[in-house]
Structure 1
């Protein structure tokens, strides 16, 4: 089994990303606080996505050594974060907003829900 330290790191960054992302969605956009917290959120999301690349898929088929379908969401995250950052730096608010919604829904809500499905570690920890 993979290192529990890596799993704990992933879990902490994912939970912090979820909490911070939820806060950012609920608050006024464009303020200096939003910009500062947004940078932290993006760094947390990148750290979360990178950590998944070292955690083997436990459910479903594996391809290219240990990757599973859920790892596609890591690739989406690693693409969406810099793309959304560049969009807002260019003044493209709509593209930035779309990217942030995609990131939040797919990388946090969908991946988070999948983490609680039978056969996954969080399911075992919470429901066993």
Structure 2
């Protein structure tokens, strides 16, 4: 594993990838940590901010171009932004089940599935994880 291919990439790609890795790590913490506590709420707001950055920064990453500068991965970014709004709204209404389902859906769709696409051959994160 070498981060050299990532750090040789354009700035938006580097920022997007670092934020996504941070969101993944913090998301794992949030999944296993006790719910409803002050730390859960504070870290949750931080996670929402990082995920919003990840989703928004993806619109400056154009490695795969299927529709002009866009790809199906950008649809996940749009879904992530709507999902974040829905999850926060559910939390504010104390709709625990809706909040939990939305957050897990964002984690899986916005990080695990989208992250899986970055590991395909020819992608930067493939080179980082598996070598050039």
Q: What is the TM-score with the length of structure 1 in the denominator?
A: 0.91
Q: Give the C-alpha shift of residue 121 in structure 1.
A: 1.5
Of 3, 16, 22, 1:16 maps to: 22
- Alpha-carbon distance, 1:97 to partner: 0.4
1:111 aligned to 114, 119, 122, which one? 114
Cα deviation for residue 11 of structure 1 reads 0.9
Q: How far apart in 1 are the matches of 2:125 and 2:26?
A: 21
Gaps of 5+ in 1: none
Does the CA contact (< 8 Å) of 1:77 and 1:103 recur in 2? yes
CA distance in 2, matches of 1:119, 1:68: 15
Of residues 41-50 and 65-74 in structure 1, the stretch that sits farther from structure 2 once superposed is 65-74
> How much does 1:72 deviate?
1.2
* d(CA) in 1 for partners of 2:102, 2:122: 30
Kindly report structure 1 stretches of 4+ aligned residues shifted beyond 2 Å: 124-127
Residue 55 of structure 1 is aligned with which of 55, 61, 70? 61
Structure 2 gaps, min length 5: 1-8
C-alpha distance in 1 between matches for 2:124 and 2:84: 26
Q: Aligned partners of 2:63 and 2:76: how far apart in 1?
A: 12
**Highest relative contact order (Cα 8 Å, sep 6+), 1 or 2?**
2
Question: Cα RMSD between the aligned structures?
Answer: 1.2
CA distance in 1, matches of 2:97, 2:86: 12
Say whether 1:83 aligns with 2:92.
Answer: no
Native 8 Å contact 1:116 1:123 kept in 2: yes
Look up the match of 2:35.
29
